[in-house]
Structures are given as C-alpha cells and as structure tokens.
Amino acid sequence: MERVFDVEDSPETSPKPKKKKAEAKVKPKECIDLTADSPSSSSKPPEEEDDPKLSLISWNVDGLDTDNIVQRARGLCSYLVLYTPDVVFLQELIPPYVQYLKKRAVSYMIIEGGEDGYFVGMMLKKSRVKLLESEIVPYPSTQMMRNLLVAQVIFKAHKLCLMTSHFESCKGHAVERMKQLRGLMQRMGEAADDLTVLFGGDTNLRDTEVAKVGLSSAVCDVWERLGRQEHCRYTWDTKANSNKAVPYVSRCRFDRIYFRPASREGVPRLAPDHMALVGLDKLECGRYTSDHWGIYCSFSVG
C-alpha cells in the first residue's frame, strides 16, 4: 500500500514515451494538489473565514478497498477543496491513506483513532478550529477493532465535543452495535452542559435497532430534525453506487449525524440547518470516491 500511494509523489524515472502516455491516460485531467499552502488551495477567502456557520463532512472512505485508491483519495481531497468543511469525520482509514492526506490537506490537522489495520479519524480546519484535547475510547467487546474517537475543540465562541466512530458491521452483529450506540448516547448525554456535542460516523445501524435502544432525550438525529429529506436518506446504496459488485440491492442509512446542543444559560447555541450527500459523481477511473456516500452538514447560530 505504501508503494501504491508513493507512485504519485515519485519523480518520473523512465523516459519511455509509451509509459508516459499510458500514465497520462490514468491521471484525471484536474489533479487536486493540496500540498501548496496557498489561498486558493488551503484556506478560505477572508469572508468565509468569518462565516459563523460550522460545516462538517462525515464519510466512510473505504480504505480497505485498494482498487483505484489513489484516485479515490484524490477525489476526497477535491471535495475538501469544494466544501472547505471545518470538521471532517472519516472511517475506514488505513495508514498510507492518512499519510497521503497529511501531504495533500495541509490546511487540516489530522487526529487518528488508531495506528494499525484500519481506524477512524478527524480532520480539523486549522484556521477555524482549535484542538484542546482528544482521546480514544475502546469498545471492550468489539470483534472488529472498533472504538470511539473524541475531541474537545473551540470553534469561534463555541466549545464543542466532537465524536466519530465506526460501529460493528454486518447484520449478525446487531447486539454489539446496539451496545456501542448505548455507550455513545451515554457519553453524549453526560457531556458538560456548556458543550455542543456532535457525532458523525458509519453506525451500520438499522432503524429497528435504533428504536430498541433509543436516543438520549437531548440528542437528535440531524436527518430527522431537518425533515427526513428523501434525497439524503440512503448513504449505503448499491442501487446507485457500483463500487461494490453485489448481486442484490441494499439501501440503508448507515451513516448518521447526532447532535446535542449546549443547554447552559448564556452559552452560544448551534442548530443544524442543512444536509446533503457528497461523492455522487463518478471519478475518471470509473468508480466513486467510496462505496458510501458522504454526508455534508452545516450548523448555524441559533
């Protein structure tokens, strides 16, 4: 995998015209390169830096699928340039993928939820979000290396507690997945009342499982809060997304955003105001950035 990602950064070593021509066909016409720390690629215009809204993207990037992975990682970077989110929650990262992002997305701080295998991570826009501390909370009974990544940050006048996770996968692991949801709801509910708590991740949850566990009283599902809009319901959709060649149609809302506002008197409030799916366009390699659609969400001052 290290070699796969190193190909893009290595200088041209062979002068053979045929090889260069073949490589030119593989590379997209617009190669998004975030290594140059310039206003056009790594920071928002002044008016956007003053934008009081908080924006985030949550996305399972499917780093375990190594086919066209460089093109797909570049695809993720293109969405970072397009949306310039303040916070990015990522799942199914692998170490080479993280190293690629560190080279390209220089305007972001990257927090990793692990070192080996695959894991979750966060990206924080350096000019907009200040990290105070972070921790990795293990799931004691996981069989799939899953955990919860938590970060305390400051966004303008707002104290935020950010959380991301990748819950246990597959239908047969519903019991463990619901246990992980209960733990998440407990942590979100118990957070200090001057904190706004935001969770985004690949929960693998089915609606029946959420109904059995229930959400904490102060926690809302952002998709539901914004009116259950059909166009951004399914984040796992084998009917529309062809990255996984499966002989069946599966449409699920695996990826979710949960929100718990600060409740203390006098503390600035955030409220969700927009949600959309990202990654719906095919890359030039003929595949999508991931087998999941990503979620873009913004929050305004309430």
Q: 177 near 167, Cβ under 8 Å?
A: yes
Taking phi over 0 as left and psi of -120 to 50 as alpha, with beta for the rest, 292 belongs to: beta
Short-list 81, 87, 90, CA closest to 62? 90
**55 located within any domain:** yes
**21 located within any domain:** no
Residue 202 appears among annotated catalytic residues? yes
Give residue 50's pLDDT: 83
Phi, psi of 235, rounded to the nearest 5 degrees: -95, -20
Q: What is the CA radius of gyration of the chain?
A: 19
Domain interval for residue 89: 45-301
Query: For 75-105, b where at least 16 C-beta lie within 10 A, e where not — what string?
Result: bbbbbbbebbbbbbbbbbbbbbbbbbbeebb
**193 located within any domain:** yes
Q: Which two tokens stand for residue 40?
A: 């056009």
**28 located within any domain:** no
**70 located within any domain:** yes
Report the distance separating Cα 223 and Cα 244, nearest Å: 25
Short-list 112, 110, 195, CA closest to 161? 195
Query: Which CATH number characterizes residue 71's domain?
Result: 3.60.10.10
Give residue 5's pLDDT: 63
**81 located within any domain:** yes
**155 located within any domain:** yes
Give residue 183's pLDDT: 98
Query: For 225-250, b where at least 16 C-beta lie within 10 A, e where not — what string?
Result: ebeeeeebebbbbbeebebeeeeeee
Looking at the structure of the chain, the number of domains it has is 1
Note the pTM of the prediction, 2 decimals. 0.88
Give residue 46's pLDDT: 61
Q: Per-residue confidence of the chain (302 residues) as pLDDT tens digits? A: 555 565 455 444 333 434 333 333 333 334 444 544 433 344 456 666 789 999 999 999 999 999 999 999 999 999 999 999 999 999 999 999 999 999 999 999 999 999 999 999 999 999 999 999 999 999 999 999 999 999 999 999 899 999 999 999 999 999 999 999 999 999 999 999 999 999 999 999 999 999 999 999 999 999 999 999 999 999 999 999 999 988 889 999 999 999 999 999 999 999 999 999 999 999 999 999 999 999 999 999 87
Which amino acid is present at 203? Answer: T
**198 located within any domain:** yes
Which position among 37, 86, 194, 202 bears the catalytic label?
Answer: 202
